[in-house]
Amino acid sequence: MDSTRQAWAERLFALRTRESTARTEVLAGATTFLVASYIIFVNAAILSFAGAPDLAPRGVPFGGVVAATCLVTAVTTLAYGLWANYPFLIAPGMGLNAVVAFQLIAGKGLAWQEAMAVVFLEGLLILLLVLAGVRQTVMAIVPLFLKKAIGVGIGLFLLLIGLVNGGLVKMSGTAAAPLTLGDYTTLPVLVTFVGLLVTITLVVRRVKGALLGGILLTTLVAILLNLLAGGTAFTTPGMAVLPTRLVSAPEFTTLGAPFAQVDGVPALVGLWSKLGLLAGVLTVFSLLLSDFFDTMGTVVGIGSEAGFLDEDGHYRERDLRRILVVDSLGALVGGWAGCSSATTYIESAAGVAEGGRTGLAAVVCAVLFGLGMFLSPLVAVVPPQATAPALILVGLYMCAMLGDIDWRNPDEALPALATITMMPFSYSITNGIGAGFLLHGLVKLLKGQVHDVHALLWAVNLAFVVYFALPSLALLKG
């Protein structure tokens, strides 16, 4: 980068203040993209019911979701970079997309446009909470030890995702041992082991861009092994195979979903007649709570690892407001575009681990997702086994915060343990935060220290009681 561009980047992103360089930020942005690019196709597979032919006619068009996912991710991540100046990625959230597909569309019988209208309403409400300062206040009153526990929990969550994606661990299908070792005789798992060896070697030798280099080298290994296996080692079309074409035209068929006509009325109106007022409100509330605390956990956990927080565990007020405004717009825009709620991604931790400290990393990542609208055949080449080693190592890095928690003090240890364990074992950031908050409140209640907990935090605990009780309430209603 010449001196003029370097000066421009310095003015816009304050590289020296954040102790970073343009080269580091570019590497970090590319790493985040490669680690998270799976969402382009996984999101489309989930929302289109690609693996369920009986439900597929009710799903969102696959090509439309691919284009919308890239578009929403690129635009919102660009806003993170240029306006908030943080190296965070925002994309349609895993878990939230499954709720939209299997709970709202398959379970409650909504048209996919009506399901996206629910997401749109949730995004609008969460944006209003940010503008009113409620979301920022909740983040400010969370005890520091719980913020540390959230960071560790996210680290273990990333570690488990890496183990599962790499095939090192799998669901056993039995109640006695829910998780078991993967099939270590398969070529995809061999790719994971090779990737771990390559990536660990680069990391311990302190090679700049170790995580990105590990992903790219492992992808090459996967392509070679798949070629030797006659192209049968990876079952997903295009994975670990050099594409026959690089460019494909995006299909913008899902944009404006909440305002589309379904049975003669706009989706935003029709959803209430299908759900009913109370069930509709509870559905929006459930999505809102998941989105609210998923983001809180992610930005706090990654912020702790990156050194973005002050000694009390807080972002600067202006920075936090911008982060949360962008994230809230992600939910709103994701619903409008028909690709489910976009939220801040825990995979952003991979770019942070690579040294990303400014919005330049987010801009690079956004540009790559924008190109993904046209280069989706090339993006599809990278297998999850190539990115799994990066996720495993990032999870390791984030576990360093375990030492910041006072494990001899049950007031801290019990809520922290609930937070740390529930995130990976329930596959949900929100579940882990909810468990930690509730146990923190219970401990204070049992000790007669009710006034030590902020009134708003008690309100949040009540919301979590409702959140965890919703499945039981649904059964009682049935």
H helices within 240-358, ranges in order? 267-275, 277-306, 317-337, 348-353
Mean pLDDT of 171-188: 84
Domain ranges of the chain: 14-473
Which pair of tokens denotes residue 457? Answer: 């935090």
What's the rounded Cα separation, in Å, for the pair 34 and 194?
Answer: 18
pLDDT band at 444; cut points 50, 70, 90: very high
Q: How many CB atoms lie within 10 A of CB 193?
A: 16
Q: How many CB atoms lie within 10 A of CB 128?
A: 12
CA angle at residue 289 from 285 to 291, to 5 degrees? 115
What's the rounded Cα separation, in Å, for the pair 79 and 393?
Answer: 28
Q: Residue 155 in contact with residue 350, Cβ under 8 Å?
A: no
Amino acid 121: pLDDT = 96
Q: Residue 41 in contact with residue 380, Cβ under 8 Å?
A: yes
What's the rounded Cα separation, in Å, for the pair 341 and 287?
Answer: 9
What pTM, to 2 d.p., does this model score? Answer: 0.81
Which pair of tokens denotes residue 296? Answer: 């809180």
- How does pLDDT run across 207-231, given as a tens digit for each residue? 888 888 898 999 999 999 999 999 8
What's the rounded Cα separation, in Å, for the pair 93 and 108?
Answer: 20
Res. 432: pLDDT tops 80: yes
Q: Residue 470 in contact with residue 99, Cβ under 8 Å?
A: no
Res. 111: pLDDT tops 90: yes
pLDDT band at 4; cut points 50, 70, 90: low
Nearest to 421 by CA among 49, 189, 155: 155
Q: Tell me which residue has tokens 């690709």.
A: 339
Res. 138: pLDDT tops 90: no
Q: Tell me which residue has tokens 């690129």.
A: 74
DSSP secondary structure of 287-315: HHHHHHHHHHHHHHHHHHHHT-S-TTS--
Exposure class string for 62-80: b at 16+ Cβ within 10 A, else e? bbbbbbbbbbbbbbbbbbb
Q: If you compute the radius of gyration of the chain from its CA atoms, what whole number of angstroms results?
A: 22
DSSP secondary structure of 109-140: ---HHHHHHHHHHHHHHHHHHHHTTHHHHHHH
H helices within 132-255, ranges in order? 134-141, 144-165, 187-204, 210-228
Tallying the residues shown for the chain, one arrives at 478
- How does pLDDT run across 254-272, given as a tens digit for each residue? 999 999 999 899 999 999 9
Which pair of tokens denotes residue 390? Answer: 């990066």
Q: How many CB atoms lie within 10 A of CB 8?
A: 12
Res. 76: pLDDT tops 90: yes
Amino acid 222: pLDDT = 95
Res. 161: pLDDT tops 70: yes
Mean pLDDT of 409-421: 95
- What is the phi/psi pair of residue 465, to 5°? -60, -45
- How does pLDDT run across 115-134, given as a tens digit for each residue? 999 999 999 999 999 999 98
- Assign residue 356 a region (left: φ > 0; alpha: ψ between -120 and 50; beta: otherwise): beta
Q: Residue 310 in contact with residue 359, Cβ under 8 Å?
A: no
Residue 382 DSSP one-character state: S
